[in-house]
Amino acid sequence: MTYASQPTPASQPRAPEDPRARARSNRVAALGIGVLAVVLGFLAGRFNPLLTGSTSSEGVKVDALFSVLLGIGTAIFVVVQGGLLYSIIRFRQKSDDDDDAPAVRGNVGLEILWTAIPAAILTGLAVYSYATLANIETPAPDAITVQVTGRQFAWDFYYPDRDVHSPELHVPLGLQVHLVMHSDDVIHAFWVPDFRVKKDVMPDRVTEVRFTADKAGTYPIVCSRLCGVGHAFMRSNVVVQPENIFATWLYAQQTGATVQAGGQPATPAAAGKAVFEQNNCGACHTLKDANAAGKVGPDLNSIGTSAAKIIQDPGYKGKATDAASYIRESIVEPNAYVVPNYPPNVMPQNFGQTISAKDLDNLVQYLLSQK
């Protein structure tokens, strides 16, 4: 090797590189980038603009927990994916490099660290989650109780103290509301996105949920369990009112069942309209008078007239003898006569059990009056 002793210009002036110093500075750089990623990731998750504010005091606590979870999750995501991306680029195999990769042995310190950190995070989150849950489920002594019934495809809200039913949930501002829920048929779920309230409503057991509305307004109620053809229409509203207005509303419901606004007794047909609305018949039927535009079942705009014609049709196989009994039969026994071009078994089969005899009479009178 004759040329080995000749100093090359590159090796001469520079001190030989210390591989340890280089590894140390690499480690410092990696640590700095990692810390920055954690901070940025946490901030991005914690203060993301995607979640609009909650309007219940429980929801605010749920959101705080959620944003901490999202923040930690985002930070971990950024660190892990960032490290992966860095390694892919920095350590990419050169096209002429056929060597084996260097053998890397385990690192006990690292193993301990990356077991201890997640364990600490998970323990902290478990404690925080439990505390939040216990906090939002604490009963308030002045809570008002409302019984919720879910059925295909409507909600019924019952105020037992006043014996009032309503298709919309009215609640007083700032007071805790205690919902006691069950289903008449299949599994539904009561969901108020603005309140961060969501719970299954089941036929074989009672579920409960509590919330305190912080802001007056109207917020959507959604059924979040696929419960049949009318599922998408199984919606209602929570109306949050100042306490005195809520009390007035409740009083009007209590007395208004038999007396109209003008003080005149309501006609059976007017009472029947409320039954139509309470049972959400409009999810499947069009009826102008009730502002309903459902398309699953037949248009009921002139059912009072068409009912009389149907029973005279030679194709009619039901037992009804006049328009009123035809309408009643269509409601309590929908399959007795299935309207041509419409599917059987789609209209709920249990209205005969869920609608009281008096309400049913009124409902029939109401539909009969639609000519």
Q: Interface with ligand HEC by CB under 6 A: which residues?
A: 153, 229-230, 276, 279, 281, 283-285, 296-298, 303, 306, 310, 327, 330-331, 334, 338-339, 342-344, 346-348, 351, 363, 367
Identity of the residue, 270 or 339, whose beta carbon is nearer to ligand HEC in the bound complex: 339
Q: What are phi and psi of 94, to 5 degrees?
A: -70, 155
297 touches which of Cu ion, ligand HEC, none (CB within 5 to 8 A by kind)?
ligand HEC
Of the candidate spans 43-51, 215-223, 283-291, 358-366, the one that interacts with Cu ion by CB under 5 A turns out to be: 215-223
Nearest distance in Å: CB 212, Cu ion: 25
Two tokens at 311? 């029973």
Identity of the residue, 71 or 150, whose beta carbon is nearer to ligand HEC in the bound complex: 150
The number of residues that bind Cu ion (CB under 5 A) is 4
284 touches which of Cu ion, ligand HEC, none (CB within 5 to 8 A by kind)?
ligand HEC
CA gap 365, 170 in Å, rounded: 28
Examine residue 283 and tell whether it contacts Cu ion (CB under 5 A). no
Identity of the residue, 205 or 295, whose beta carbon is nearer to ligand HEC in the bound complex: 295
CB-CB contact of 268 with 365 (8 Å): yes
40 touches which of Cu ion, ligand HEC, none (CB within 5 to 8 A by kind)?
none
Q: What are phi and psi of 2, to 5 degrees?
A: -75, -35
Q: Which of 223, 281, 355, 363 binds Cu ion (CB under 5 A)?
A: 223
190 touches which of ligand HEC, Cu ion, none (CB within 5 to 8 A by kind)?
none
CA gap 261, 278 in Å, rounded: 19
Nearest distance in Å: CB 81, Cu ion: 39
CA gap 65, 132 in Å, rounded: 8
73 touches which of ligand HEC, Cu ion, none (CB within 5 to 8 A by kind)?
none
Nearest distance in Å: CB 284, ligand HEC: 3
Nearest distance in Å: CB 248, ligand HEC: 29
Identity of the residue, 155 or 246, whose beta carbon is nearer to Cu ion in the bound complex: 155
CA gap 355, 277 in Å, rounded: 12
Q: Which of residues 230-269 bind Cu ion (CB under 5 A)?
A: 234
> What is the 3-class SS of 236-274, one letter each residue?
EEEEEECHHHHHHHHHHHHHHCCECCCCCECCHHHHHHH
Nearest distance in Å: CB 213, ligand HEC: 29
CB-CB contact of 331 with 363 (8 Å): yes
Nearest distance in Å: CB 179, ligand HEC: 23
The closest alpha carbon to 358, from 264, 258, 291, 284, belongs to 258
114 touches which of Cu ion, ligand HEC, none (CB within 5 to 8 A by kind)?
none
CB-CB contact of 236 with 167 (8 Å): yes
Q: Strand, helix or coil at 13?
A: coil
Q: Strand, helix or coil at 150?
A: strand
Identity of the residue, 159 or 276, whose beta carbon is nearer to ligand HEC in the bound complex: 276
Q: What are phi and psi of 223, to 5 degrees?
A: -85, 120
239 touches which of ligand HEC, Cu ion, none (CB within 5 to 8 A by kind)?
none
Nearby residues of 175 by Cβ (< 8 Å), 6 or more positions away: 140, 142, 143, 144, 212, 243
Q: Strand, helix or coil at 327?
A: helix
Q: Regarding beta strands 169-172 and 235-241, do their DSSP bridges make them parallel or antiparallel, or are they unpaired? A: parallel
188 touches which of ligand HEC, Cu ion, none (CB within 5 to 8 A by kind)?
Cu ion
Nearest distance in Å: CB 225, Cu ion: 6
Q: Which of 188, 196, 273, 285 binds Cu ion (CB under 5 A)?
A: 188
Q: Which of 227, 274, 275, 364 binds Cu ion (CB under 5 A)?
A: 227
Nearest distance in Å: CB 234, Cu ion: 4
Cis peptide before 153 (omega within 30 of 0): yes
Bridge partners, 191 (sequence order): 198, 222
The closest alpha carbon to 167, from 146, 197, 144, 189, belongs to 146
**Residues of the shown chain interacting with Cu ion in the complex, contacts defined by CB under 5 A:** 188, 223, 227, 234
